[in-house]
Amino acid sequence: MAEASCEDHCNETEAKEVNEKNDNLECAVCLQTCVHPAQLPCGHIFCFLCVKGIANQSKKCAMCRQEIPRDFIEQPNLLERPPLTETCEGFDGGYQWFYEGRNGWWQYDERTSKELESSYKKGERICEFLIAGFLYIVDLENMIQLRRNDPSRRRKIKRDFATIPKKGIAGLRTEESLTENSSEIRPIEGRNEDNIVPVTPSNTPQSPTSGRESPGEEHDLQATMDMISSLQLNSVINEIDNDEEHERD
């Protein structure tokens, strides 16, 4: 009995030390503390979403340029898997932020959720985030997320209770989700959830739809896309102005 108690204490101490070490890891891509740190075969460690962005673009480690295995995103080497408590903790009233995926909802990672909640409470309509190597614009009025350089890549988002059924966090299944979905059919190789317009999740009650947005929704979406185009144009103008200033200097 004493031996078992001692072993449990040692395991708890070891787990605590690992967590503290992971909390101090800095990602060389986003230059922030690693969120869900993932270690590549070469040994370098990054945020899981940062690794996902690298894998989808250069397919090489950002530090040593060693090639990233094709199946790494599907089977990442995580230093720790998202705990169940992270999926249940929420903001005031127990809320969390979610984005739509195939047949369900994913919870945003902790950092992005906090930024979304901050923008939401400030009453901001539009906010911008860097996720997996891409800039995304979130329309908090129409509750949609669009990729800035390709607005056709969009998905619904929502602020809901943290305890609702979910697939996992930021593309990572939790231990509970892995158990519940052990018999789930895996996605076809080469397909990426970021490259599709997601279908209506089965765990969210919806009214019957024809597959097209209503006239009001189309108008709101067009307004958001026009705003994105304006932001892109302003960005180009600012770059031109900066270039002209450098030339004058």
More confident residue, 170 or 83: 170
* Residue 22 predicted with pLDDT over 50: yes
Give the C-alpha distances (Å, rounded to integers) separating 14 from 17, 21, 117, 238: 5, 11, 33, 51
Q: What is the pLDDT of residues 178-215, one digit of tens each?
A: 555 544 444 444 444 444 444 333 344 333 333 445 55
Query: At 152, phi and psi to the nearest 5?
Result: -70, -20
Q: What is the pLDDT of residue 26?
A: 93
CATH number of the domain residue 123 falls in: 3.30.720.50
Average pLDDT of the chain is 74
Rounded to an integer, the average pLDDT of 120-146 is: 92
> Nearest-CA neighbor of 158 among 92, 197, 105?
105
Looking at residue 210, its pLDDT comes to 38
Region of poorest pLDDT, from 56-65, 103-112, 180-189: 180-189
Whether 70 is covered by a domain: the verdict is no
**For 117-124, what is the mean pLDDT?**
94
pLDDT at 150 > cutoff 80:
yes
User: What is the distance between the alpha carbons of residues 208 and 212, in angstroms, rounded to a whole number?
Assistant: 11
**What percent of the chain has pLDDT above 90?**
39
Could you tell me if 86 and 168 are in contact, meaning their C-beta atoms sit under 8 angstroms apart? no
pLDDT on residue 42: 95
Same domain? 107 vs 163: yes
Reported pTM: 0.63
pLDDT confidence of residue 91: 77
Residue 173: what pLDDT?
Answer: 82
Residue where a domain stops, chosen among 11, 39, 57: 57
Is a pLDDT exceeding 70 seen at residue 118? Answer: yes
- Is pLDDT above 50 for 53? yes
Of the two residues 200 and 240, the one the predictor is more confident about is 240
Residues 39, 88 share a domain: no
**pLDDT range class, residue 125, cuts 50, 70, 90:** very high
Residue 48 shares a structural domain with residue 89: no
Q: Is 52 in the same domain as 156?
A: no
Do 46 and 104 fall into the same domain? no
Tell whether 71 is covered by a domain.
Answer: no
Phi, psi of 94 (to 5 degrees): 80, 35
* Overall domain count for the chain: 2
Residue 68, number of CB atoms within 10 A of its CB: 20
What is the amino acid identity at position 230? Answer: S
Using 50, 70 and 90 to split pLDDT, how confident is the model at 131? Answer: confident
In a domain, 247, yes or no: no
Residue 239 lies in a domain: no
pLDDT at 67 over 60: yes
> Is position 51 within any domain?
yes
Return the pLDDT at 196.
40
Q: Which domain holds residue 25?
A: 2-57
The residue that leads in pLDDT, 19 or 76, is 76
Percentage of the chain beyond pLDDT 70 is 57
Q: How confident is the model at residue 5 (pLDDT cuts 50, 70, 90)?
A: low
